[in-house]
Structure 1
């Protein structure tokens, strides 16, 4: 029983760690997809939670039934034809592109705060990522079992400090805070859509590696609930600091710096760890995909992917990614609908 409970929380940690990333941990993603929509963003966060739970159950169930090994198998099954090829290509593109951006970001972060060469940060990230990835699924479970609890501890600590020192806190006043945009529902669905399509790259191989379907589903549900609480907390703090948070690349740092340098440094460390966690998840997902599609051994796939990301990380990929985000989001929403339809038609046959 104890081993099963540990497994459930390891799966929950992997789920959270895969979705969180540096964008969420810094508050940047939350401000873009939720905070700017005002108090209705909390409804959007709840919708994301529902999508995460429903889609996790569907992806795990389909993967288990058809013994799938990577997101390529899932996409080919539920979305055959041109749309499936497009979805698969975009997913691979984003996961590799995201890995390249994280490498560049790691180098920039180390350079900015320690004044050393960017390549030291890049090489350090590659080195520990390879050690983790060569341990396959075990490595993925192990690193997230450490990083995710640390993230939760830091965010909750920041929230408690904020509540303790924030004067004249009135929850009803949230309705009166001016919001910048109105299309909160579409933003929430878009966000949950591309998160779940990216997360399928981890959930599918996990379903093959871990025999216990109930533990997988329980872990993904717990992960979805904890993630929702974290996003609620971050969004709450950010909304109370509108419009100032929109001026910062790391909005949570604006909130943390009022509580001293130590908390600020700890938050930066957590952001770096979440960059690392996402890097490992992305490369793991594509590695499993290459193993299935091209019949390349997993460890060799990892080396190939890393060799691709190193030069790509140096060519200003961020703008290209931002242009293709809407396309990826739209494709992911279509993919979610296709998964649901496929599940309802085929699972009980």
Structure 2
């Protein structure tokens, strides 16, 4: 029983750690996709949470039933033909692109706060990632079991301090705050689409590796609920500090600054850890994909991906990502619909 509870906890941590990333931990993603829509953004977060639960159950069931080893197998199963090829290409492109941006971000963060070369931050991230990735699924679960509780602790501390020192913040106050955009539903659907497709890259091989359906589903549901609560808290903190948070690249850092240097340092450390967690998840997902497609060892796939991401991290790749972001969002949402239709047809036979 104890081992089952630990396994469920580890799966939920992997789920949260895969989706969170530095963008959510810093508050930037929540600010862009939700906070700008005012109090209605909370409905958007709730919809995302529901989609995460539904899709994780579908992905786990299909992965175990068809013995899928990577997101490539899942995509081609539910979306055969040209659209599946496009979805597969874009997913691989974004995971490698995301990994490259994280390496660049790690270099920039280390350079900014310690005054050393950016390459120190990049190679430190690469070295740490390889150690964890070579432990395969076990390494992925171990690292998230440490990082996710650290993230939750820091965000909850920030939230409680905010409630204690700013007692005038209540629901009526939140509802009175002006919003900047109206299409909150579309934004939440696009955001959930990104995360579901990227998260599938981890959920599919994880399902095959663990093979315990009930534990996988329980862990994913707990992870989705935890992620939804976390997003609610971050959104609450951000929406209470409109319009000031829009001036900062790391909005949560602006809020943390009020409560001392220690909390600010802890938040920065957690953001780096989330960058690390996403780096590991992205390379793990693509590694499993290359292993299946080209029939090479997983460790060789990991080295190959990292060798590709290091030079890409030095060019303006983020501009290319931003151009294709909307396209990826649309394709991701179509993929969700295809998964649901395929699943209904499969289990209605």
TM-score by length of 2: 0.99
Which residue is 1:143 aligned to? 143
**Structure 1 Cα separation of the partners of residues 99 and 211 of structure 2:** 29
Task: Specify the alignment match of 2:222 in structure 1.
Answer: 222
Q: Does 1:245 align with 2:269?
A: no
Q: Which residue of 2 aligns with 1:294?
A: 294
CA RMSD of aligned residues (A): 0.6
Could you tell me which runs of 5 or more consecutive residues in structure 1 were left unpaired when the two chains were aligned.
none
Report the Cα distance in structure 2 between the residues aligned to 1:266 and 1:172, rounded to whole angstroms.
31
Indicate whether 1:315 and 2:315 are aligned.
yes
Q: CA deviation at 1:170?
A: 2.7
Residue equivalent to 1:8: 8
Alpha-carbon contact 1:62-1:347 (below 8 Å) kept:
no
Within 5 Å, give how 1:70-85 maps onto structure 2.
70-85=70-85
Structure 1 partner of 2:194: 194
2:254 matched to which residue of 1?
Answer: 254
CA deviations over 1:109-145 (Å, ceiling 9, x no partner)? 0000000000000000000100000000000000000
The SS at the match of 2:315 is coil
CA contact (8 A) 2:169 2:240 kept: no
Map of 1:206 onto structure 2: 206
Give the conservation status (yes or no) of the 8 Å contact 2:102–2:279.
yes
Distance 1:54 1:171 in 2: 29
Is residue 285 of structure 1 aligned with residue 285 of structure 2?
yes
| Partner of residue 270, structure 2 | 270
Distance, in Å, in 2 between the alignment partners of 1:118 and 1:227 is 31
Shift of 1:348: 5.0
Cross-structure match for 2:31:
31
Taking the aligned partners of 1:311 and 1:346, their CA distance within structure 2 comes to 43
**Following TM superposition, by how much is the alpha carbon of 1:296 offset from its aligned partner in structure 2, in angstroms?**
1.3
1:100 corresponding residue in structure 2: 100
Deviation at 1:171, TM superposition (A): 1.6
Q: CA deviation at 1:168?
A: 1.9
Count of residue pairs the alignment pairs up: 349
CA distance in 2, matches of 1:132, 1:149: 18
Distance in 2, matches of 1:134 and 1:318, equals: 28
**Mind listing any 5+ residue stretches in structure 2 that lack a counterpart?**
none
Paired residue for 1:134?
Answer: 134
Q: Tell me the residue number matched to 1:174.
A: 174
Distance 1:188 1:93 in 2: 22
Partners in 2 of 1:51 and 1:107 — Cα distance?
Answer: 34
